[in-house]
Amino acid sequence: MKKIQILGTGCPKCQQLTENAEVAAKEAGFEYVLEKIQDMNDIISFGVMATPALAIDGEIKSSGKLLSAEEIKALF
């Protein structure tokens, strides 16, 4: 099971990244758990300085840009 984490304050780009990540995981056929991390201290603890950010299984895969579902699938 994949753990997908969206790091951001809840802005429109963060919300879109969440939707795109869900679409990507479903299209790829993965079982997944989605976690939104909105606390700035938690975001900083990942070493992220720009949001939205995407982590898969605890590893930051993207920071500071909105990825499409296709781009996210390529990261799995």
Q: Which residues are catalytic?
A: 11, 14
Is the distance from CB of 76 to CB of 63 less than 8 angstroms? Answer: no
Rg (the chain; Cα; Å): 11
Q: Which residues contact 27 (CB under 8 A, 6 or more apart)?
A: 69, 73
The token duo for 52 is: 């939205």
